[in-house]
Every structure is written in C-alpha cells, then in structure tokens.
Structure 1
Amino acid sequence: MSNKQVGKGRRSSPKKNPKRQKNYGKGESLGYAANVALDDFYTRASHFSTRATHKQRAKAFVKYCKRQKMRDVRDIDKPFVLQFGAYVKTRLEVGYWWPDGSIDKPVSVAYAHNLISTVNILMRAFRGDDELKVSAREVLGVCRNSMRTREIQADIVDTQHAANLAIAKGFERGAAVMMLDRAWGMRVREAILQDLDRMKREVLATGEAAILEGCKGGRKCRSRTIKVNEFRLEALNYAIEVRPQGSRNLLSETDTVKRFLLRELNPCRPLLKSAGVPTFHELRAGFAQDIYEEVMQGPSPLKQPIRDKVMDRVARDEVARQLGHNRRGVAGAYVGGVRNAA
C-alpha cells in the first residue's frame, strides 16, 4: 500500500446548502417543489386534507409564476407576491385576459382569500419565515363573507337514507361517519378517530359525552360535551357495531386516516349527494341548526328573521361550544347571520 493511501479514507462530498439551490433544494420543477415544500412543512404523516387543498390552490400560483417567467422561488419577493394579489383581485369581477388571448375565469371572494392564504403558507414553507406574507383583505380590498345564506340540506331522514345507501354498497364504516357527523356534529376526522368506548362510558354515566379525539387545530377540550338523545345514541351504537374488531375507533390496525378517506369515505360522497346532502360538512351544519333551534325554541335565521337578539347570542354561543370553535362569530357560517334581525 502506497504512502498516499495510508490514513486516507474516501473524501465525502461537501454538503449542499439548500438556500443556494434552485427552489431551496425542493426540486427543479416549480410545481413539484411546491408540493414537496408543503409536504415537508406539514409532514407527510398528517394534515392529509390540508396538504391536498393547499396543493390544489398552489397550482394557480405556479401557473402565474410560469406566465411571468419566474422559475425559481428564491427570486420571488414581496412586490411579486403583491403583483399576484393584484392579478387575483382582477379575477374577482371579470376574469383575467392574458396577452395571448387566454382567459382565467372569475373567482369568488372566498376563493380569492384562500389563494392568497395558500401563497402565504407556501412562501413560509419554502423560506421558513413570514417575510413575504401579505394581507388578503388589504390586497383584494374586500372581506371574506362567511355568513351562510342558503338553507341547510341535511335532514336526519336524508342522512339515514344516505347511510342506508352506503350500507347497501358495503361501506358500513362510511355510513357510521355520516351518522356521527349529523348526530354529534363531528368533523370527518373526529368521527374516524373518536374513542367510541369512552363516549359510551360517558353516556351511560352522565347522559352526555365529550368530543376529544381528532379535533382540528388542537381544539381538544372537555368543555365540548354534548347531551345524548335517541338519534345520537343510535349513531354511537351503530359505529361501535361496525368498527373493526379490537379497535376503539373506526380504524383497523392497518388503516390510516388517509387510506380510510380514499377507500371508505370517498365512495360515499356521491351516495350522500344522491340522498340530497351535498357534503359531509353539511351534516355538521344540520347539527348546528338543531342546537340553535333547540336553544331558541324557534327557527334559525335561515328560515325566519331573528326576533330575540339576546337569546340569539346565547344560541350562537352554544352552537360554537358544541362545534368546538368557542367563537360566536363562527356560528354564522352554519346557522346564518344577524342581518335578518327584525
């Protein structure tokens, strides 16, 4: 062995600094890099629906970047983000005409806000800071109107019909999610992950149960307790009956939430629509309306003008508590607004 080889191992290649690589080292293609950045930001093991939603919206920003010959996220600055905001603002009314004659169709105020929000998240995912964050309200010049105006389409009878259709197709656990969403006001993820044994124990002991598992944004709180009634007990017992053996919730040992959504729940969406219920979230709105009308002893603002503003506030507080928001203003997105007050 020569002297040059003695004591010298293989020299490792120097580590590359992501900040010095195109798209911060997330990939050569801007669209691919955006997806990787969002996966890294939220982690690939969670926030499946959130990541999917942001990825879908990010396509509009990626398309705009390519139109503007912007190929590297490192070159994006605050003026460019504001320029994108101005483009989205133009689309609010008549759409956007590009020089080559192609047209980007108009978007709603709510979706425009969502596009700006996604760009803020995307830039934070790439850069690790909020230096390029912009206010959607300031950029667009209009506020998002989250007040519900259309009547709720999620009767208990329609929900039960949809559940029966799902059972007939072999999606018993999908039917259980429908029932839990409508009866207990759960989000889909909450219905999937809820500890059904714990709920049953609490119902037997106190006549009510807390919604604890799978809550959005860390909103797990014991104050979100819901009194049992005949329909809620029926939904809970059915979920316990069809859950996988040995499981406390609707997932089997080999299941993930993502797999459950794809294989069990997605096939149930057209069945829900065929029964007259547009979405799973509509089931939660139906629950919210039930709570409001129970407190008010009268119809929701979606049916008649508000007569008692004091009781209206009490009812909205109760809706917000049982939905897990604890913010009165959020109730308007479910039961309608106060602008109808007499």
Structure 2
Amino acid sequence: MSNNSVARGRRSAKRKKPDGNKNYGLGKKLLEAAHRAVDQFYGRDSHYNTRATHKKRMVVFVNFCRYHGINDARKIDRECVLQFGSYIKARLESDYEWPDGTVDQRISVAYAHNAISTVNILMKAFRGDDALKVSGKQVLGVCRQSVRVRPIEADVVDTQYAADQAIANGFERGAAVMRLARAWGMRVRECILQDLDRMKREIEATGEATILEGCKGGRRSKDRTIRATEFRMEALNYAIEVRPEGSRNLLSEADTVKSFLLSEVNPCRQFLKFSGVPHFRELRAGFAQDVYEEVMAGPSPLKEAIRDKIMDRVAREEVARQLGHNRVSVASAYVGGTRNAA
C-alpha cells in the first residue's frame, strides 16, 4: 500500500460524522434551524405576519448566541436565556458594545419585551415545552409602556377617501379590508378571512355579528359580538360585493393570506398615508375610539380629561371585548390612559 493511500485512510478515519441531531435536527445553522422551528410551530400555511415578525427579531438572539460560542440550539439553557435578558436590559439604558467593537443600538421597552417573547416562542418551538420560558417583566425589571398619547388619525371621511383611491387603482378587495377594519375593528388578517356570509346571517337573526375567523394568538371568542350599524353594514355589503365568486371571504381559490397581503393590502398602504391615515392598525384604533365614546356618550381621554371613573372602566371593558382582547389595560393603547381621571 502506498504512503498516499495510508494518508488518505488516516484522514478518513479522523473525519467526524455529521451530527444529524444538531439544532434538534432542523438544520446545521442556528438561524436556519430557528426559521424552520417557527414554521413548524405555527404551520407554513398560516400566521404569516406572526412568523415573519419572529424571524426578524430572532436574529438578535442568534447573534447573541454566536458571540457566546453557541451554534447548536440544544446547548441553549436557562442560564443562556437569562444572560440574553440581561443583555437586552442593558440595551434599554444605552448602546451596547461587544468586545470586537460591534455596537448594538439602544432599544425601547416595547421592543425589549417583544425580543424576550420571541425567545420564549423559539425555544418552545425547538423543545416542545416551556421549560426555558422567562418573564419579560422579571428579566427586564420594567413593564411595557403602551398608553397612547397622540390623537387618533383614522377619521371615517379620510378612510373612505383612501378606499376610493384604492378602488380607482384597481384594488377593490384592498379597499374592502380598509372599510371592514374601520367599521368593525378587525385586524387585517381577520378582514381577509372573515366568513362574510355567516356575519350577514347573524345580523339578520340578532342584529349583531361575531368576529371569529383569523383571530390573533387563539383569541377566537363567541363573546366578541359587534352591533350592526348602517356604517358597518355598508362596509360588510361592499366586501360581499367585491369578494371572489363562490368564496365566503375575500380570498379566491388561488389566493393565500401571504399572496393577498402582497397583491392587495400592501399597495393600499400608500393610499392610507396619502389620506392622512398612517397604517392599517390606526383604523382599528378609530373603531376603538368610536366604541369608547359611544359608551361614555362623550369624548375619549385623547380629547378631554376623564370625568367619570366608573363609566370609563365600563367603556374600556367594552373596547377590550369588541377588539378581541382579554385585558382591559389593552384599551389604553387605543383610546389613551386614565391618568387624567378626575
């Protein structure tokens, strides 16, 4: 046997077999595996926006792991997650500089909580349990600051103008999403997937409709009923008019939520901004303010100081219910806080 053959044999003997279980068998690279884990956790055919958001935020955690020499999700333990929490907390105070000179910019409290939430979801997706789940409040030492202070910019007239512009440019179904969001307080995904026929039947029977399809984070509840008004019926009837033939919602047989967002919803953002409405979520805020002011028979806290604490609480509970939330505190993100209460 030649010396070359012996050398080749030795190299072959030393070569390590690939570890098929690395990153729980989801890929060689941590970021690649993390993407697959989240896709499997939520399903590739649903929760498009949620998955995209987590994938964008998880880059921060993956980079943190790399700086600490971790390239396998199986090696991530509770200590690692807590250290990440400390790193995120440090970025609340100022920019964070790594030993190699790389600087990570300062972040907001809301983003810090979202970063912790993404890690919790990611590790549950990898492991299948909540063993490494941590509390954002405990790790960061601060709560989210989500009390709205600026006036709502989603006037009904401005919304209708934006919808008219969308229609003129061939985005009839995008206009339907605008109108449904403003009239019924639905999220974009809820507008897209809502069973319009069911809503119509419920209104004919009870005068109210329930928001069920496409709800965020499993918040589907039969308690989320909304009274039909002339304004809301106009939005619903228009959506029924422009939906694809044979469909119960705004999607055609060839559509997915992702393709609909790209082809119909995203192009309509320019019409909203041109009309003075910053984004689709603002339409939901406009609905929330309508609900609050209807219950209070007066202006929201964004317009005047609160005069009746008891009715303010009742109005916030109604806003939270109709928006599909379980917490009254969420209403503050839409209609303003209670600090001005008399």
TM-score w.r.t. the length of structure 1 is: 0.90
Q: Which amino acid aligns with 2:213?
A: E
Matched with 2:6 is none
Matched with 1:145 is 145
Matched with 2:330 is 330
Q: How many residue pairs are counted as aligned between the two chains?
A: 325
Q: Which amino acid aligns with 1:217?
A: G
Task: Confirm or deny: 8 A CA contact 1:97 1:104 kept in the other structure.
Answer: yes
Q: 2:277 matched to 1:277?
A: yes
Matched with 1:81 is 81
Q: 2:41 matched to 1:32?
A: no
Residue deviations 1:168-203 (CA, integer Å, cap 9, x gap): 221110110000000011111111111222222333
Structure 2 residue runs without a partner (length 5+): 1-17
Task: State, as a whole percentage, how many aligned pairs show the same letter.
Answer: 71
Structure 2: distance between partners of 1:326 and 1:40? 27
- SS of match in other structure, 1:253: coil
User: Relative to structure 2, which stretch is displaced further, 298-307 or 326-335?
Assistant: 326-335
Task: Confirm or deny: 8 A CA contact 1:317 1:326 kept in the other structure.
Answer: no
Q: Return the offset for 1:216.
A: 2.6
Matched with 2:266 is 266
Structure 1: distance between partners of 2:121 and 2:134? 11
Structure 2: distance between partners of 1:74 and 1:203? 52
Structure 1: distance between partners of 2:285 and 2:217? 19
User: Relative to structure 2, which stretch is displaced further, 223-232 or 293-302?
Assistant: 223-232
Matched with 2:136 is 136
Matched with 1:59 is 59
Structure 1: distance between partners of 2:227 and 2:129? 44
The 4+ residue runs of structure 1 with deviation greater than 6 A are none
User: Relative to structure 2, which stretch is displaced further, 97-106 or 85-94?
Assistant: 97-106
Matched with 2:110 is 110
Structure 1 residue runs without a partner (length 5+): 1-17
Q: Return the offset for 1:229.
A: 2.1
User: Relative to structure 2, which stretch is displaced further, 107-116 or 259-268?
Assistant: 259-268
Q: Which amino acid aligns with 1:126?
A: F
Task: Confirm or deny: 8 A CA contact 1:209 1:228 kept in the other structure.
Answer: yes
Matched with 2:230 is 230
Residue deviations 1:103-152 (CA, integer Å, cap 9, x gap): 11110001001101111111111122222222211111111122222211
Q: Return the offset for 1:236.
A: 1.1
CA 1:222/1:23 → structure 2, altered by over 3 Å: closer, same or farther? closer
Matched with 1:13 is none
Q: Which amino acid aligns with 1:244?
A: P
Q: Return the offset for 1:206.
A: 3.5
RMSD, aligned CA:
1.7
Residue deviations 1:35-61 (CA, integer Å, cap 9, x gap): 011111112122111111110100111
After superposition, where does 1:1-342 map in structure 2 within 5 Å?
Answer: 21-342=21-342
Task: Confirm or deny: 8 A CA contact 1:166 1:172 kept in the other structure.
Answer: yes
Task: Confirm or deny: 8 A CA contact 1:185 1:323 kept in the other structure.
Answer: yes
Structure 2: distance between partners of 1:141 and 1:19? 39
Q: Return the offset for 1:19.
A: 9.2
